[in-house]
Structure 1
Amino acid sequence: MNAESITELTELDKRIVRVLQGEFPLVAEPYKTLAEQVGVSEETFLERVKAMQETKKIRKMGAVLCHREVGFKANVLVAWEVPEGRLDEIARHMAASPSVTHCYDRNTAPGWPYNLYTMVHGHSREECEQVVKALGRECNVSNHVMLYSKHEWKKTAMRYFMENE
Protein backbone atom coordinates (compact mmCIF):
# COMPACT_ATOMS: atom_id res chain seq x y z
CA MET A 1 0.00 0.00 0.00
CA ASN A 2 1.24 3.48 -0.74
CA ALA A 3 1.28 6.29 1.87
CA GLU A 4 -1.64 8.07 0.21
CA SER A 5 -3.94 5.08 0.64
CA ILE A 6 -3.45 5.05 4.42
CA THR A 7 -3.46 8.82 5.05
CA GLU A 8 -7.14 9.42 4.27
CA LEU A 9 -10.01 7.20 5.27
CA THR A 10 -11.51 5.71 2.16
CA GLU A 11 -15.15 4.69 1.77
CA LEU A 12 -13.97 1.10 2.29
CA ASP A 13 -12.29 2.11 5.57
CA LYS A 14 -15.51 3.77 6.71
CA ARG A 15 -17.51 0.61 5.90
CA ILE A 16 -14.99 -1.43 7.88
CA VAL A 17 -15.26 0.93 10.87
CA ARG A 18 -19.07 0.68 10.69
CA VAL A 19 -19.07 -3.12 10.96
CA LEU A 20 -16.39 -3.13 13.66
CA GLN A 21 -18.67 -0.93 15.79
CA GLY A 22 -21.49 -3.48 15.65
CA GLU A 23 -21.95 -6.85 17.25
CA PHE A 24 -18.84 -9.00 16.94
CA PRO A 25 -19.76 -12.34 15.36
CA LEU A 26 -19.26 -15.28 17.70
CA VAL A 27 -18.13 -17.69 14.98
CA ALA A 28 -14.91 -19.55 14.15
CA GLU A 29 -13.82 -16.90 11.61
CA PRO A 30 -15.29 -13.57 12.79
CA TYR A 31 -13.17 -11.37 10.53
CA LYS A 32 -14.19 -13.39 7.51
CA THR A 33 -17.85 -12.79 8.42
CA LEU A 34 -17.22 -9.06 8.88
CA ALA A 35 -15.30 -8.90 5.59
CA GLU A 36 -18.25 -10.52 3.81
CA GLN A 37 -20.57 -7.87 5.29
CA VAL A 38 -18.30 -5.19 3.82
CA GLY A 39 -17.92 -7.01 0.50
CA VAL A 40 -14.16 -7.68 0.55
CA SER A 41 -11.87 -10.61 1.25
CA GLU A 42 -10.80 -11.35 4.80
CA GLU A 43 -7.21 -10.56 3.77
CA THR A 44 -8.16 -7.09 2.48
CA PHE A 45 -10.30 -6.44 5.56
CA LEU A 46 -7.44 -7.30 7.94
CA GLU A 47 -4.90 -5.31 5.87
CA ARG A 48 -7.09 -2.20 6.12
CA VAL A 49 -7.65 -2.67 9.87
CA LYS A 50 -3.90 -3.05 10.41
CA ALA A 51 -3.17 0.04 8.29
CA MET A 52 -5.72 2.08 10.25
CA GLN A 53 -4.15 0.91 13.52
CA GLU A 54 -0.63 1.75 12.33
CA THR A 55 -1.69 5.26 11.32
CA LYS A 56 -3.66 5.70 14.58
CA LYS A 57 -6.99 5.95 12.77
CA ILE A 58 -8.08 3.08 15.04
CA ARG A 59 -6.53 3.35 18.48
CA LYS A 60 -8.21 0.49 20.27
CA MET A 61 -10.70 -2.30 19.85
CA GLY A 62 -12.26 -4.09 22.76
CA ALA A 63 -15.20 -5.92 24.20
CA VAL A 64 -17.83 -4.47 26.50
CA LEU A 65 -18.62 -6.72 29.43
CA CYS A 66 -22.28 -6.71 30.40
CA HIS A 67 -21.35 -8.05 33.81
CA ARG A 68 -24.88 -8.63 35.08
CA GLU A 69 -25.67 -10.78 32.02
CA VAL A 70 -22.76 -13.09 32.85
CA GLY A 71 -23.65 -13.50 36.52
CA PHE A 72 -21.82 -10.71 38.33
CA LYS A 73 -24.20 -8.88 40.66
CA ALA A 74 -21.78 -6.42 42.26
CA ASN A 75 -19.00 -4.15 41.12
CA VAL A 76 -16.92 -1.43 42.67
CA LEU A 77 -14.55 1.19 41.32
CA VAL A 78 -11.54 1.29 43.61
CA ALA A 79 -9.31 4.36 43.67
CA TRP A 80 -5.89 3.50 45.10
CA GLU A 81 -3.06 5.72 46.34
CA VAL A 82 0.00 4.02 44.87
CA PRO A 83 3.62 5.17 45.18
CA GLU A 84 4.56 6.75 41.84
CA GLY A 85 7.68 4.58 41.49
CA ARG A 86 5.61 1.38 41.83
CA LEU A 87 2.62 2.41 39.70
CA ASP A 88 3.41 0.22 36.66
CA GLU A 89 4.32 -2.81 38.79
CA ILE A 90 1.17 -2.58 40.92
CA ALA A 91 -1.07 -1.83 37.93
CA ARG A 92 0.25 -4.93 36.13
CA HIS A 93 -0.42 -7.07 39.20
CA MET A 94 -3.94 -5.74 39.74
CA ALA A 95 -4.83 -5.93 36.04
CA ALA A 96 -3.86 -9.62 36.07
CA SER A 97 -6.61 -10.39 38.59
CA PRO A 98 -9.55 -12.17 36.95
CA SER A 99 -11.90 -9.98 39.01
CA VAL A 100 -10.47 -6.73 37.57
CA THR A 101 -11.92 -5.60 34.25
CA HIS A 102 -10.40 -2.11 34.06
CA CYS A 103 -7.15 -0.76 35.44
CA TYR A 104 -5.81 2.69 34.66
CA ASP A 105 -3.86 5.57 36.15
CA ARG A 106 -5.10 9.11 36.68
CA ASN A 107 -3.65 12.35 37.95
CA THR A 108 -4.19 13.22 41.59
CA ALA A 109 -5.81 16.45 42.79
CA PRO A 110 -5.78 18.45 46.01
CA GLY A 111 -7.61 16.36 48.60
CA TRP A 112 -7.72 13.36 46.24
CA PRO A 113 -4.43 11.40 46.40
CA TYR A 114 -5.61 8.41 44.34
CA ASN A 115 -3.71 7.67 41.15
CA LEU A 116 -4.69 4.10 40.21
CA TYR A 117 -8.22 2.92 39.50
CA THR A 118 -9.53 -0.63 39.19
CA MET A 119 -13.01 -1.92 38.43
CA VAL A 120 -13.67 -5.06 40.43
CA HIS A 121 -16.59 -7.37 39.65
CA GLY A 122 -17.98 -10.09 41.90
CA HIS A 123 -21.03 -12.17 42.63
CA SER A 124 -21.64 -10.15 45.80
CA ARG A 125 -20.48 -6.99 47.53
CA GLU A 126 -18.65 -9.18 50.03
CA GLU A 127 -16.74 -10.93 47.23
CA CYS A 128 -15.69 -7.54 45.82
CA GLU A 129 -14.47 -6.47 49.25
CA GLN A 130 -12.46 -9.70 49.63
CA VAL A 131 -10.82 -9.14 46.24
CA VAL A 132 -9.95 -5.53 47.12
CA LYS A 133 -8.54 -6.59 50.51
CA ALA A 134 -6.40 -9.29 48.84
CA LEU A 135 -5.11 -6.91 46.14
CA GLY A 136 -4.18 -4.33 48.76
CA ARG A 137 -2.35 -6.96 50.83
CA GLU A 138 -0.55 -8.46 47.81
CA CYS A 139 0.62 -5.02 46.62
CA ASN A 140 1.22 -3.54 50.08
CA VAL A 141 -1.19 -0.68 49.33
CA SER A 142 -3.63 0.30 52.04
CA ASN A 143 -5.03 3.73 51.16
CA HIS A 144 -7.99 3.34 48.83
CA VAL A 145 -11.62 4.29 48.45
CA MET A 146 -14.36 1.99 47.16
CA LEU A 147 -17.06 3.54 44.98
CA TYR A 148 -19.96 1.15 44.44
CA SER A 149 -22.23 1.38 41.43
CA LYS A 150 -25.78 2.32 42.34
CA HIS A 151 -27.19 2.17 38.82
CA GLU A 152 -25.95 0.65 35.61
CA TRP A 153 -26.37 2.96 32.67
CA LYS A 154 -26.66 1.72 29.13
CA LYS A 155 -23.18 1.07 27.80
CA THR A 156 -22.63 2.85 24.53
CA ALA A 157 -19.60 3.97 22.62
CA MET A 158 -19.02 6.58 19.99
CA ARG A 159 -20.28 5.49 16.60
CA TYR A 160 -18.62 6.85 13.49
CA PHE A 161 -19.69 7.08 9.84
CA MET A 162 -23.31 6.21 10.59
CA GLU A 163 -24.93 8.98 8.51
CA ASN A 164 -26.49 6.45 6.12
CA GLU A 165 -28.43 4.69 8.89
Structure 2
Amino acid sequence: MKQEILSRIQKKFPLVQKPFEVIADELGMREDEVLEILQAEKKANIIRQTSAIFDTKRLGYKSSLVAFKIPEEKINSAVKIINAHPGVSHNYERNHDFNIWFTMAVAPDSVLGLERTIQTLASLAEADDYIVLPTLKLFKINVKLNTTGKDEKKEEVKKVVHKDIELTPLHHKIIQRVQYDIDFVSEPFADIINDLDIDYETFFNTLQELQKAGVMRRFASILNHRKAGFNANAMVVWDIDETLGDAIGAKAAAFSAVSHCYLRPKYKNWPYNLFTMVHGKTTQETNAMIAEMAQEIESKDYMPLYSSKEFKKVRIEYFTPKFAEWEKKHATVA
Protein backbone atom coordinates (compact mmCIF):
# COMPACT_ATOMS: atom_id res chain seq x y z
CA MET A 1 0.00 0.00 0.00
CA LYS A 2 2.96 2.29 0.65
CA GLN A 3 3.94 2.13 -3.02
CA GLU A 4 0.38 2.99 -4.07
CA ILE A 5 0.45 6.07 -1.83
CA LEU A 6 3.83 7.18 -3.22
CA SER A 7 2.51 6.74 -6.75
CA ARG A 8 -0.62 8.75 -5.94
CA ILE A 9 1.13 11.78 -4.45
CA GLN A 10 3.52 11.98 -7.42
CA LYS A 11 0.77 11.97 -10.05
CA LYS A 12 -2.09 14.10 -8.77
CA PHE A 13 -2.00 15.51 -5.27
CA PRO A 14 -5.57 16.31 -4.08
CA LEU A 15 -5.94 20.08 -3.75
CA VAL A 16 -8.56 20.03 -1.03
CA GLN A 17 -8.71 20.99 2.63
CA LYS A 18 -7.89 17.43 3.77
CA PRO A 19 -5.92 15.82 0.91
CA PHE A 20 -4.76 12.78 2.87
CA GLU A 21 -8.32 11.91 3.79
CA VAL A 22 -9.10 11.79 0.04
CA ILE A 23 -6.13 9.48 -0.60
CA ALA A 24 -7.15 7.28 2.33
CA ASP A 25 -10.72 6.96 1.02
CA GLU A 26 -9.44 6.00 -2.44
CA LEU A 27 -7.22 3.25 -1.03
CA GLY A 28 -9.62 1.97 1.65
CA MET A 29 -7.48 3.21 4.53
CA ARG A 30 -7.73 5.64 7.43
CA GLU A 31 -6.29 9.13 7.15
CA ASP A 32 -3.96 8.60 10.11
CA GLU A 33 -2.53 5.46 8.44
CA VAL A 34 -1.73 7.39 5.27
CA LEU A 35 -0.12 10.19 7.27
CA GLU A 36 1.94 7.75 9.33
CA ILE A 37 3.33 6.14 6.16
CA LEU A 38 4.11 9.50 4.53
CA GLN A 39 5.77 10.87 7.67
CA ALA A 40 7.99 7.78 7.82
CA GLU A 41 8.91 8.10 4.11
CA LYS A 42 9.73 11.77 4.63
CA LYS A 43 11.90 10.98 7.64
CA ALA A 44 13.73 8.33 5.59
CA ASN A 45 14.31 10.95 2.87
CA ILE A 46 12.36 8.90 0.30
CA ILE A 47 10.11 11.93 -0.27
CA ARG A 48 12.23 14.95 -1.16
CA GLN A 49 9.55 17.65 -1.25
CA THR A 50 5.80 18.12 -1.63
CA SER A 51 4.86 21.49 -3.07
CA ALA A 52 3.74 23.42 -6.13
CA ILE A 53 5.97 23.00 -9.18
CA PHE A 54 6.14 26.17 -11.24
CA ASP A 55 7.09 26.93 -14.83
CA THR A 56 10.10 29.21 -14.51
CA LYS A 57 9.51 30.80 -17.91
CA ARG A 58 5.82 31.54 -17.23
CA LEU A 59 6.87 33.38 -14.08
CA GLY A 60 9.09 35.67 -16.17
CA TYR A 61 12.42 34.05 -15.30
CA LYS A 62 14.93 33.23 -18.05
CA SER A 63 16.64 29.87 -17.76
CA SER A 64 18.92 27.38 -19.47
CA LEU A 65 20.81 24.17 -19.04
CA VAL A 66 24.55 24.94 -18.89
CA ALA A 67 27.62 22.72 -19.19
CA PHE A 68 31.07 23.81 -17.97
CA LYS A 69 34.40 22.18 -18.75
CA ILE A 70 36.23 22.35 -15.43
CA PRO A 71 39.74 20.93 -14.73
CA GLU A 72 39.56 18.06 -12.26
CA GLU A 73 41.59 19.87 -9.60
CA LYS A 74 39.25 22.88 -9.71
CA ILE A 75 35.91 21.05 -9.51
CA ASN A 76 35.33 21.53 -5.77
CA SER A 77 35.95 25.27 -5.80
CA ALA A 78 33.97 25.70 -9.04
CA VAL A 79 30.97 23.85 -7.64
CA LYS A 80 30.88 26.09 -4.55
CA ILE A 81 30.83 29.17 -6.78
CA ILE A 82 28.13 27.79 -9.09
CA ASN A 83 25.92 26.50 -6.27
CA ALA A 84 26.04 29.87 -4.51
CA HIS A 85 23.87 31.40 -7.22
CA PRO A 86 20.17 31.29 -6.15
CA GLY A 87 19.09 30.46 -9.71
CA VAL A 88 21.02 27.17 -9.80
CA SER A 89 18.62 24.39 -8.86
CA HIS A 90 20.39 21.25 -10.17
CA ASN A 91 24.12 20.62 -10.48
CA TYR A 92 25.81 17.32 -11.42
CA GLU A 93 29.14 15.96 -12.50
CA ARG A 94 28.70 13.83 -15.63
CA ASN A 95 30.96 11.47 -17.60
CA HIS A 96 32.11 13.85 -20.35
CA ASP A 97 34.74 16.53 -21.04
CA PHE A 98 31.92 18.97 -20.32
CA ASN A 99 31.77 17.60 -16.82
CA ILE A 100 29.72 20.05 -14.76
CA TRP A 101 26.04 20.35 -15.74
CA PHE A 102 23.63 22.72 -14.05
CA THR A 103 20.33 24.49 -14.58
CA MET A 104 20.50 28.26 -14.39
CA ALA A 105 17.72 30.87 -14.00
CA VAL A 106 17.73 34.64 -13.56
CA ALA A 107 14.91 36.80 -12.22
CA PRO A 108 12.61 38.92 -14.41
CA ASP A 109 14.28 42.10 -13.15
CA SER A 110 17.85 40.82 -13.61
CA VAL A 111 20.31 43.56 -14.55
CA LEU A 112 22.95 41.17 -15.88
CA GLY A 113 20.58 38.88 -17.75
CA LEU A 114 21.10 35.18 -18.42
CA GLU A 115 24.09 35.29 -20.80
CA ARG A 116 26.18 37.71 -18.72
CA THR A 117 25.36 35.80 -15.53
CA ILE A 118 26.66 32.59 -17.11
CA GLN A 119 29.75 34.42 -18.38
CA THR A 120 30.35 35.72 -14.86
CA LEU A 121 30.02 32.24 -13.37
CA ALA A 122 32.37 30.81 -16.01
CA SER A 123 34.97 33.44 -15.14
CA LEU A 124 34.61 32.94 -11.38
CA ALA A 125 34.70 29.13 -11.71
CA GLU A 126 37.68 29.27 -14.12
CA ALA A 127 35.91 27.12 -16.72
CA ASP A 128 38.01 26.15 -19.74
CA ASP A 129 34.93 26.20 -21.94
CA TYR A 130 31.15 26.17 -21.65
CA ILE A 131 27.97 25.71 -23.67
CA VAL A 132 24.56 27.27 -23.08
CA LEU A 133 21.65 24.97 -23.92
CA PRO A 134 18.31 26.77 -23.59
CA THR A 135 15.05 24.96 -24.30
CA LEU A 136 13.95 25.37 -27.92
CA LYS A 137 10.97 23.08 -27.44
CA LEU A 138 9.62 21.27 -24.40
CA PHE A 139 8.03 17.89 -25.08
CA LYS A 140 7.72 16.60 -21.53
CA ILE A 141 8.55 17.44 -17.95
CA ASN A 142 6.92 15.11 -15.48
CA VAL A 143 8.90 13.24 -12.84
CA LYS A 144 6.78 10.23 -11.83
CA LEU A 145 8.82 7.26 -10.67
CA ASN A 146 7.10 3.92 -11.21
CA THR A 147 6.96 2.77 -7.58
CA THR A 148 4.28 0.11 -8.13
CA GLY A 149 5.76 -1.64 -11.18
CA LYS A 150 2.35 -1.46 -12.86
CA ASP A 151 2.93 1.44 -15.25
CA GLU A 152 3.03 0.84 -19.00
CA LYS A 153 6.26 1.42 -20.96
CA LYS A 154 4.51 4.07 -23.04
CA GLU A 155 2.19 6.89 -22.03
CA GLU A 156 0.19 9.58 -23.76
CA VAL A 157 1.72 13.04 -23.46
CA LYS A 158 -1.12 15.49 -23.90
CA LYS A 159 -0.56 18.87 -25.48
CA VAL A 160 -1.99 21.57 -23.22
CA VAL A 161 -2.98 25.04 -24.37
CA HIS A 162 -2.57 27.54 -21.54
CA LYS A 163 -4.64 30.63 -20.91
CA ASP A 164 -2.95 34.00 -20.53
CA ILE A 165 -2.98 35.44 -17.05
CA GLU A 166 -1.90 38.66 -15.40
CA LEU A 167 -0.48 37.86 -12.01
CA THR A 168 -2.08 39.81 -9.16
CA PRO A 169 -0.65 40.54 -5.70
CA LEU A 170 -2.68 37.58 -4.38
CA HIS A 171 -1.17 35.29 -7.02
CA HIS A 172 2.31 36.38 -5.96
CA LYS A 173 1.55 35.86 -2.25
CA ILE A 174 0.24 32.36 -2.87
CA ILE A 175 3.15 31.47 -5.19
CA GLN A 176 5.59 32.59 -2.50
CA ARG A 177 3.93 30.25 0.01
CA VAL A 178 3.13 27.11 -1.99
CA GLN A 179 6.63 26.80 -3.48
CA TYR A 180 7.82 25.42 -0.13
CA ASP A 181 7.46 21.94 1.32
CA ILE A 182 4.21 21.17 3.15
CA ASP A 183 3.95 19.19 6.38
CA PHE A 184 2.23 15.82 6.39
CA VAL A 185 -0.65 16.80 8.67
CA SER A 186 -4.41 16.59 8.25
CA GLU A 187 -4.78 20.17 6.97
CA PRO A 188 -1.41 21.07 5.38
CA PHE A 189 -2.65 24.37 3.90
CA ALA A 190 -4.20 25.77 7.11
CA ASP A 191 -1.25 28.06 7.95
CA ILE A 192 -1.31 29.62 4.47
CA ILE A 193 -5.05 30.23 4.71
CA ASN A 194 -4.72 31.85 8.12
CA ASP A 195 -1.63 33.93 7.30
CA LEU A 196 -3.10 35.31 4.06
CA ASP A 197 -6.54 35.75 5.65
CA ILE A 198 -8.36 34.00 2.79
CA ASP A 199 -10.76 31.05 2.66
CA TYR A 200 -10.08 27.63 1.16
CA GLU A 201 -12.29 28.30 -1.86
CA THR A 202 -10.26 31.38 -2.81
CA PHE A 203 -7.00 29.52 -2.23
CA PHE A 204 -7.84 26.48 -4.38
CA ASN A 205 -9.50 28.59 -7.10
CA THR A 206 -6.29 30.63 -7.33
CA LEU A 207 -4.19 27.46 -7.66
CA GLN A 208 -6.50 26.25 -10.43
CA GLU A 209 -6.07 29.59 -12.23
CA LEU A 210 -2.29 29.27 -11.99
CA GLN A 211 -2.43 25.70 -13.32
CA LYS A 212 -4.74 26.53 -16.24
CA ALA A 213 -2.36 29.37 -17.15
CA GLY A 214 0.61 26.98 -17.04
CA VAL A 215 2.26 29.03 -14.30
CA MET A 216 1.93 26.08 -11.93
CA ARG A 217 2.72 22.82 -13.70
CA ARG A 218 1.27 20.75 -10.89
CA PHE A 219 1.23 20.21 -7.15
CA ALA A 220 2.96 16.96 -6.28
CA SER A 221 5.55 15.08 -4.29
CA ILE A 222 9.04 14.57 -5.71
CA LEU A 223 10.90 11.48 -4.56
CA ASN A 224 14.60 11.18 -3.91
CA HIS A 225 15.47 8.97 -6.90
CA ARG A 226 18.25 6.98 -5.31
CA LYS A 227 16.51 6.59 -1.95
CA ALA A 228 13.42 5.35 -3.81
CA GLY A 229 15.53 2.69 -5.53
CA PHE A 230 16.07 4.42 -8.88
CA ASN A 231 19.86 4.40 -8.85
CA ALA A 232 20.59 4.65 -12.58
CA ASN A 233 19.36 7.90 -14.06
CA ALA A 234 20.91 8.97 -17.34
CA MET A 235 20.70 12.18 -19.34
CA VAL A 236 20.65 10.74 -22.85
CA VAL A 237 21.56 13.18 -25.62
CA TRP A 238 20.67 12.50 -29.26
CA ASP A 239 21.93 13.95 -32.52
CA ILE A 240 18.73 14.20 -34.57
CA ASP A 241 17.61 15.95 -37.74
CA GLU A 242 16.25 19.32 -36.63
CA THR A 243 13.59 19.26 -39.33
CA LEU A 244 12.15 16.10 -37.74
CA GLY A 245 12.49 17.45 -34.19
CA ASP A 246 8.77 17.61 -33.40
CA ALA A 247 8.02 14.03 -34.45
CA ILE A 248 11.13 12.50 -32.88
CA GLY A 249 10.74 14.50 -29.66
CA ALA A 250 7.13 13.34 -29.27
CA LYS A 251 8.21 9.74 -29.84
CA ALA A 252 10.91 9.98 -27.16
CA ALA A 253 8.58 11.70 -24.67
CA ALA A 254 6.07 8.85 -24.93
CA PHE A 255 8.37 6.48 -23.01
CA SER A 256 7.22 6.32 -19.38
CA ALA A 257 10.83 6.02 -18.15
CA VAL A 258 11.51 9.47 -19.65
CA SER A 259 10.75 12.29 -17.22
CA HIS A 260 12.19 15.22 -19.21
CA CYS A 261 12.41 15.68 -22.96
CA TYR A 262 13.68 18.86 -24.67
CA LEU A 263 14.98 20.10 -28.00
CA ARG A 264 18.07 22.27 -27.52
CA PRO A 265 20.57 23.99 -29.87
CA LYS A 266 23.61 22.33 -31.48
CA TYR A 267 27.14 23.76 -31.58
CA LYS A 268 30.34 22.86 -33.44
CA ASN A 269 31.67 21.28 -30.27
CA TRP A 270 28.29 19.81 -29.27
CA PRO A 271 26.25 17.97 -31.96
CA TYR A 272 23.45 16.72 -29.70
CA ASN A 273 20.11 18.52 -29.69
CA LEU A 274 17.50 16.16 -28.16
CA PHE A 275 17.78 15.65 -24.40
CA THR A 276 15.95 12.93 -22.48
CA MET A 277 16.19 12.01 -18.80
CA VAL A 278 15.77 8.24 -18.45
CA HIS A 279 15.18 6.62 -15.05
CA GLY A 280 15.79 3.03 -14.00
CA LYS A 281 16.54 1.03 -10.87
CA THR A 282 19.78 -0.41 -12.27
CA THR A 283 22.22 0.61 -14.99
CA GLN A 284 21.28 -2.57 -16.84
CA GLU A 285 17.58 -1.64 -16.75
CA THR A 286 18.27 1.94 -17.86
CA ASN A 287 20.61 0.86 -20.67
CA ALA A 288 17.99 -1.64 -21.87
CA MET A 289 15.40 1.14 -22.03
CA ILE A 290 17.84 3.44 -23.87
CA ALA A 291 18.54 0.66 -26.38
CA GLU A 292 14.81 0.19 -26.89
CA MET A 293 14.40 3.92 -27.45
CA ALA A 294 17.29 3.92 -29.94
CA GLN A 295 15.40 1.43 -32.09
CA GLU A 296 12.53 3.89 -32.46
CA ILE A 297 14.36 7.21 -32.52
CA GLU A 298 15.99 8.28 -35.77
CA SER A 299 19.38 9.64 -34.71
CA LYS A 300 22.86 9.97 -36.14
CA ASP A 301 24.31 9.28 -32.71
CA TYR A 302 23.34 9.20 -29.05
CA MET A 303 25.19 9.20 -25.75
CA PRO A 304 24.03 8.42 -22.19
CA LEU A 305 25.56 10.78 -19.63
CA TYR A 306 25.33 9.32 -16.14
CA SER A 307 25.86 11.55 -13.14
CA SER A 308 28.81 10.55 -10.98
CA LYS A 309 28.05 13.19 -8.32
CA GLU A 310 25.03 15.24 -7.34
CA PHE A 311 26.15 18.65 -6.06
CA LYS A 312 22.80 20.39 -5.78
CA LYS A 313 19.13 19.55 -6.23
CA VAL A 314 16.69 22.09 -4.84
CA ARG A 315 13.73 24.16 -5.95
CA ILE A 316 14.35 27.75 -7.00
CA GLU A 317 12.91 30.23 -4.53
CA TYR A 318 10.87 32.65 -6.61
CA PHE A 319 10.40 36.34 -5.88
CA THR A 320 13.07 36.59 -3.20
CA PRO A 321 15.81 39.28 -2.86
CA LYS A 322 18.57 36.67 -3.18
CA PHE A 323 18.93 37.16 -6.95
CA ALA A 324 19.47 40.93 -6.67
CA GLU A 325 21.90 40.42 -3.78
CA TRP A 326 24.01 37.99 -5.86
CA GLU A 327 24.13 40.41 -8.80
CA LYS A 328 25.10 43.33 -6.59
CA LYS A 329 27.95 41.29 -5.11
CA HIS A 330 29.32 40.14 -8.49
CA ALA A 331 28.53 43.14 -10.72
CA THR A 332 32.20 44.11 -10.99
CA VAL A 333 33.14 40.68 -12.36
CA ALA A 334 30.57 41.01 -15.16
The reply on whether 1:113 has 2:268 as its aligned counterpart is no
Give the structure 2 partner of residue 3 of structure 1. none
CA displacement 1:72-97 (0-9 Å, x = unmatched): 01111111011223212221221121
Provide the C-alpha distance between the structure 2 equivalents of 1:90 and 1:25, rounded to a whole number of angstroms.
40
1:88-137 superposed Cα distances (whole Å, 9 cap, x missing partner): 22212211212111111100001322110001111111211111111010
Hey, what's the Cα distance between the residues in 2 that align with 1:93 and 1:27?
A: 40
In structure 2, the partner of 1:36 is: 193
Using CA pairs under 8 Å that are at least 6 residues apart, name the structure with larger relative contact order, 1 or 2: 2
CA gap of 1:26–1:133, structure 2 versus 1, over 3 A, is farther
State the alpha-carbon separation in 2 of the partners of residues 81 and 161 from structure 1.
37
Q: Which amino acid aligns with 1:125?
A: T
With over 3 angstroms needed to count, the CA separation of the structure-2 counterparts of 1:54 and 1:102, relative to structure 1, is: closer
TM-score (norm 1): 0.74
Matched residue, 2:287: 129
Residue 66, structure 1, aligned to residue 241, structure 2: no
Of 64-73 and 100-109, deviating more is 64-73
In 2: Cα distance, 1:62 partner to 1:48 partner: 13
Q: Secondary structure of the equivalent of 1:149?
A: strand
Count the aligned residue pairs.
155
State the alpha-carbon separation in 2 of the partners of residues 106 and 27 from structure 1: 41
Mark the CA change 1:78 to 1:86 in structure 2 (over 3 Å): closer, same or farther.
same
The aligned residue for residue 95 of structure 2 is none
Look up the match of 1:141. 299
CA deviation after TM superposition for structure 1 residue 29, in Å = 9.0
Deviates more, 1:38-47 or 1:131-140: 38-47
Q: Select which of 80, 86, 93 maps to 2:251.
A: 93
SS in 1 for 2:309: coil
Q: Could you tell me whether the CA contact under 8 Å between 1:81 and 1:143 is conserved in 2? A: yes
CA distance in 2, matches of 1:85, 1:24: 44
Letter in 2 for 1:155: K
Measured in 1, the distance between the counterparts of 2:265 and 2:219 equals 24
Q: Aligned with 1:159: secondary structure? A: coil
1:22 aligned partner, one-letter code: Y
Task: Tell me, in whole angstroms, the C-alpha distance in 1 between the residues paired with 2:280 and 2:253.
Answer: 15
1:109/1:23 CA distance change after superposition, 3 Å: same
1:8: how far off? 5.8
| Whole-angstrom CA distance in 1 between matches of 2:233 and 2:310 | 10
Indicate the structure with greater strand content. 2
Partner-residue secondary structure (3-state), 2:172: helix
Report the structure, 1 or 2, having the larger helix content. 1
Q: 1:80 to 1:98 in 2, by over 3 A?
A: same
Q: CA deviation at 1:25?
A: 6.7
Contact (CA 8 Å) 1:7, 1:55: kept in 2 or not?
Answer: no
Percentage identity across paired residues of the two chains: 33
Residue number in structure 2 paired with 1:18: 176
Aligned mate of 1:104, from 262, 270, 289: 262
Superimposed CA distance per residue, residues 30-63 of structure 1 (whole angstroms, 9 cap, x where no aligned partner): 8x6686364423331244345556778x364565
Cα RMSD of the aligned pairs, angstroms, is 3.1
Distance 1:62 1:69, change over 3 A: farther
Quickly say closer, same or farther: Cα 1:110–1:65, change in 2 above 3 A.
farther
SS in 2 for 1:152: strand
Gaps of 5+ in 1: 1-5
- The TM-score, its normalising length taken from structure 2, stands at 0.40
